[in-house]
Amino acid sequence: MKKALMIAACAVLMTGVAANAASLTMEIRGDASTTEGAMYEFEIVAMLGAGSDGLALIGVDLEASAGVTLSPLAAGASMSSFVKVEGLTNPDGYGGTDVDGKLLQIGGGQNTIGYSTSDPAYPNPDYPVGDVVLGIGDEVEVVIATGTVTAPDADFSLTISGAFANTIDEGQTEAPYAVSAVDEPVIYVDGGVLNVAVGGGVTLTAAASVGEHAGFGDVSLAIGADGLNEPRDQGASGDLYLVMEFDGDVDAMGLAVAFDPALSVGASVSAGAAANMAEIHFDGAVNTGRYTVTVSGDAAGEFDICYVKGDSNCSGDATGLDLAVIQSPTNWNTALADGASARADINRDGQATGLDLAAVQSPTAWNQPVPALTCTCP
């Protein structure tokens, strides 16, 4: 019965049917990993295709895998006009109706009929009374709802399904608004599933890309919250490697790492220089691109790295600006031991010379990639 209530509300709020309905794309998002017992945060996002003036009403169901308890979700920051009393929801509220541990019909509807408690034509009830906000989700992502769950002791998943929505027909300026149901089927990113890896309480705290420079030794480039643009030549054997540091001791054999997108070369995890460290080594050179590295198993965490050969100035591509960095007074014909930047020593021979200019201008690097990658340089 509860499930039918908001569907009935849809009928009340729908005052017309348009010929050009918009598509609806739904996604559930969150970090790819967490730790046991942590409060894990996630969000449900929607976006309409062309052909409307935004959402009039939206609802979606949420289900969790075994061992995870769901609580009612909070409305996204842009969705206040969908929440009772401004808008209309199920009796249990915008956050969803709990049926056997599953949250049904998270969401609500705007006051598209222009209902007012002072209008004698509408003697009951005392909602919805809000003004309609146009353009919500119209060809732009909008956070429908946010939530948290307590991470169990094993990997888990969150799945959205059963989404429905009405959209406001284009060109209207006042209530009552004609609305239309979205095109079927609803599009679910990744099938509407968010898979989360759970570590054993040990968390990744730092990461770096490390490479040996001749005559100088290993140089570590830190990976920050927005990743790292790694400009150095990896060599045919892929001898740049990644170092990970954790807030507790780890056994490399108990760690798993996944790269998104998948690598075209092999990668292996080995013990690091200290008990709380581990390393990732490659069988060959990693293709140019941005990669998200997710750690699971005995520890959890993730970081981004962008491999973009020749990017001395950290712009995300190799251009004439990188030549200028190499030829700057602090780097040109200067060894790393004398103060040259490791980012200027593209070929890792221990100094910034014409050989590094040639590396930037090589066919595999020059004016690539397009578009530029989006990591940063801590």
**CA 237 centroid distance within chain:** 32
Residues 314 and 322: their CA atoms lie apart, in Å, by 8
Q: Is the peptide bond before 185 cis (omega within 30 degrees of 0)?
A: yes
Residues linked to residue 142 through DSSP beta bridges, in sequence order: 46
Residue 153 amino acid letter: D
List C-alpha distances in Å: 378 to 229, 315, 325: 9, 13, 17
- Token pair 């909008």 in the structure block, residue: 142
Residues 308 and 132: their CA atoms lie apart, in Å, by 47
- The residue extents of the domains of the chain are 2-199, 202-360
- Based on C-alpha coordinates, what's the Rg of the chain? 27
DSSP letter, residue 161 = E
CA angle 266, 267, 271 (to 5 degrees): 150
SS3 content of the chain, % helix, strand, coil (to 5): 10, 40, 50
Reported as a single tens digit per residue, the pLDDT across 224-275 is 999 999 999 998 666 899 999 999 999 999 899 999 999 999 999 999 999 9
Reported as a single tens digit per residue, the pLDDT across 264-287 is 999 999 999 999 999 999 999 999
Q: Is the dihedral of CA 18, 53, 97, 45 positive or negative?
A: positive
Contact 167, 33 (CB under 8 A): no
Contact 272, 285 (CB under 8 A): no
- pLDDT at residue 170 tops 50: yes
Residue 19: pLDDT band by 50, 70, 90 thresholds? very low
Residues 44 and 47: their CA atoms lie apart, in Å, by 11
Answer whether 0.75 is exceeded by the pTM: no
**Residue 4, H or E segment:** helix 2-13
pLDDT for the residue numbered 123: 61
User: How many helices (H) and strands (E) in the chain?
Assistant: 3, 23
Q: Is the dihedral of CA 229, 230, 236, 241 positive or negative?
A: negative
- Token pair 């709380």 in the structure block, residue: 276
Task: For residue 371, count other CB atoms closer than 10 A to its CB.
Answer: 7
pLDDT for the residue numbered 280: 98
Segment 295-315 mean pLDDT: 94
List C-alpha distances in Å: 343 to 23, 219, 221, 229, 361: 46, 10, 9, 10, 15
pLDDT for the residue numbered 27: 98
- Reference 298, options 266, 274, 276; nearest CA is 276
DSSP secondary structure, 225-281, as one string: TTB-EE-S--TTTT--EEEEEESS---GGGEEEEEESPPSS-EEEEE-SSTTEEEEE
Q: What is the mean pLDDT of the chain?
A: 91
Residues 307 and 260: their CA atoms lie apart, in Å, by 13
CATH architecture designation of domain 2-199:
Sandwich (2.60)
DSSP letter, residue 117 = T
- pLDDT at residue 7 tops 50: no
Reported as a single tens digit per residue, the pLDDT across 71-90 is 999 999 999 999 999 999 99
| 2-199 against 202-360: fold identical | yes
Contact 2, 85 (CB under 8 A): no
CA atoms within 13 A of residue 326's CA, in its CB half-sphere: 28
**CA 262 centroid distance within chain:** 17
- pLDDT at residue 339 tops 90: yes
Task: For residue 355, count other CB atoms closer than 10 A to its CB.
Answer: 13
Domain 202-360 has CATH 2.60.40.1220: yes
